[in-house]
Amino acid sequence: MTDAALTATAAAQAPIDTPFAVFWRKFRAHKGGVAGLIVFVLIVLAVYLGPLIHRIDPNKIDIRAKNQGPSFAHPFGTDNLGHDMLAQVLAGGQISLAVGITAMLLSLFLGTFVGVLAGYFRRIDGLLMRLTDLFLALPLLPLLLVIIMLFRDTLRAAFGPETGIFILIVFVIGITSWMHTARIVRGDVLAVKNQEFIVAAKSSGMYEHRIILRHILPNVLSSIMVSATLGIASAIITESALSFLGLGFPSDFPTWGRLLFDGVNFLQLTPSRVFWPGLAISLTVLSVNYLGDAVRDALDPRTLSR
């Protein structure tokens, strides 16, 4: 849908430049966005390439070296079992980023899909919105327990323990967090769909799905982007809450959320245990948010290039 929006934006304003060039020019003007992009790329690189440099196995236990402060061997110190915190934070980042982004995409897709349909087609609006109510009311924890009970063993057999639980968690976070996006998108669609250009497009005999893709979506994109950036944050945090309740990844798979949670008791003893995962989560979310801001500005068909 991003591509469609890009095309629409470009076609409307800058027939000479390629759509991407227009987008890039606008994006670059947003200083926070550029900074966000750099930080985010740095985090991704650190998390994926870091383990090649810092070659300690995150699950290696050295009980004699527990609760250490930062040192040359352990730049982030160690935890109460003697895990190297830097290695844990790097390994945790891989999982947390993957979960956060995939779950956000899933929930964004579901939310936009339901929201646009509900806003655009009056006949199914009531039904879809009641479905949204239902999902909002469902207690998350029992739902998780049921899903895990029903699907864990099947997925574990099909994809192995790690990928199986990854799919499960992304699925669970995705299907329990799309409702707000759906509501907001629906509200925006309702506001947009009666505007002249939509009516004009309709009367010119344009197909419904083309109207939605070309005219409705670009106009609700700003809300979607805000939801997306909020979504990554809440997905990472939901994952940590799940780990805490024992429904997340097995305990030997560190994630930022759980590192933070486990470290909270040790706040006074080894502050670095809390500081680094906390900083990693905050920086990631922060950079994604700035990124989202800039993308939103760059995509908005109504902002003139500055």
Partner 1 sequence: MSGIKSLLTAGVTTIILATGGTAAHAGRGSDGEAKILFWQAVSTMNPYLSGGSKEVYAASMVLEPLAGFDPDGKMFPRLAAGIPSLENGGIAADRTSITWKLKPDLKWSDGTAVTAEDVAFTFAYCTAPGGGCAQKAKFEGVKAVEAVDPLTVKISFSKPMSYPYAPFVGALSPVIQKAQFKDCLGEKAAQCTAANFNPIGTGAFVVKDFKANDVVTFAANPNYRIADKPAFSTIVLKGGGDAAAAARAVLETGEFDFAWNTVVEPEVLDAMLKKGKGTISTAFSTTVERIHLNPFGADPALGQKRSTKDAGPHPALSDPAVRKALSLAIDRDILVEAGYGAGGKATCNVIPAPANLASSGVDWCLKQDIAAANKLLDDAGWKKGSDGVRAKGGVKLSFLFQTSTNSVRQGSQALIKDWWNKIGVTTELRNVPASVYFGGDPASPDTYKKFYADIEMYASGFETTDPANFLADFKCDRIPSPVDGWQGGNVGRICDPAYDALIDKLSDASEPQARSEIIKTLNDLLVNGGYVLPLVNRGEPSAISNTLKDALVNPWDSQLWNVADWSRKK
Partner 2 sequence: MFTYTIRRLIFAVPTLLVISFVIFALLDLAPNDPLGELPLTIPPEVREQIRAAMGLDQPFLVRYVKWLQQFFINEPLNIFEQLTGWHIGDGNRMRVLSWATRSPVVDLIVQRLPQTLWVVGLAYLFGTLLAIPVGVISAYRQYSIFDQIGTFITMVGYSVPTFFTGVVLIVIFSSYLQWFPSVYDTNLQVRDWSSFLEQLRQMFLPILVLTLYNASQIARFVRASMLDNLSQDYVRTARAKGVKEKAVLLVHVLRNSLIPVVTVIALGVPTIFSGAIITEQIFRVNGLGQLLITAVQGADLPLVQTLTFIFAVLIVLFNLIADVLYGILDPRIRYD
What residues make contact with partner 2 under the rule CB under 8 A? 31-32, 126, 129-130, 132-134, 136-139, 141-143, 145-146, 149, 180, 183-184, 187-188, 190-191, 194-195, 222-223, 226, 230, 233, 237, 240-241, 257, 260-261, 264, 267-268, 274, 278, 281-282, 284-286, 289-290, 293, 296-297, 300, 302-304
Closest separation in Å from C-beta 55 to partner 2: 29
# binding residues, partner 1 (CB under 8 A) = 26
Residue 10 or 230 with smaller CB distance to partner 2: 230
Closest separation in Å from C-beta 245 to partner 1: 6
Start-end of H helices in the chain = 2-13, 19-29, 31-53, 85-120, 122-137, 140-175, 179-193, 196-203, 208-211, 217-244, 256-263, 272-299
Return the number of other C-beta atoms located less than 10 Å from residue 15's C-beta: 7
Nearest to 97 by CA among 47, 27, 162, 29: 47
- For residues 4 and 112, give the distance between their C-alpha atoms in angstroms, rounded to a whole number: 14
- Dihedrals phi, psi of 304, to nearest 5 degrees: -85, 150
Residue 286 binds: one of partner 2, partner 1, none (C-beta under 5 to 8 A by kind): partner 2
Structure tokens at 252: 């030997």
Residue 75 binds: one of partner 1, partner 2, none (C-beta under 5 to 8 A by kind): none
Residue 59 binds: one of partner 1, partner 2, none (C-beta under 5 to 8 A by kind): partner 1
Residue 51 or 119 with smaller CB distance to partner 2: 119
Return the number of other C-beta atoms located less than 10 Å from residue 204's C-beta: 8
Closest separation in Å from C-beta 265 to partner 1: 5
Closest separation in Å from C-beta 66 to partner 1: 7
- For residues 280 and 269, give the distance between their C-alpha atoms in angstroms, rounded to a whole number: 20
- Dihedrals phi, psi of 268, to nearest 5 degrees: -85, -25
CA atoms within 13 A on the CB side of 269: 11
Which residue type is seen at 100? G
Residue from the set 247, 274, 291, 295 that interacts with partner 1 by CB under 8 A: 247
Residue 5 or 85 with smaller CB distance to partner 1: 85
- For residues 261 and 244, give the distance between their C-alpha atoms in angstroms, rounded to a whole number: 7
Interface of this chain with partner 1, residues 167 to 196, rule: CB under 8 A: none
Residue 302 binds: one of partner 2, partner 1, none (C-beta under 5 to 8 A by kind): partner 2
- For residues 70 and 121, give the distance between their C-alpha atoms in angstroms, rounded to a whole number: 59
Interface of this chain with partner 1, residues 204 to 243, rule: CB under 8 A: none
Question: How big is the CA angle at 282 (ends 293 and 229), to the nearest 5 degrees?
Answer: 30
Residue 22 or 165 with smaller CB distance to partner 1: 165
Q: Which residues pair with 78 in a beta bridge?
A: 84
Site string for partner 1, 54-93 (x = CB under 8 A): -----xxx-x--xx------------xx-x----------
Residue 247 binds: one of partner 1, partner 2, none (C-beta under 5 to 8 A by kind): partner 1
Closest separation in Å from C-beta 249 to partner 2: 17
Question: How big is the CA angle at 33 (ends 32 and 37), to the nearest 5 degrees?
Answer: 120
Closest separation in Å from C-beta 119 to partner 2: 10
Which residue type is seen at 299? L
Structure tokens at 10: 């470009």
Interface of this chain with partner 1, residues 137 to 156, rule: CB under 8 A: 145, 149, 153, 156
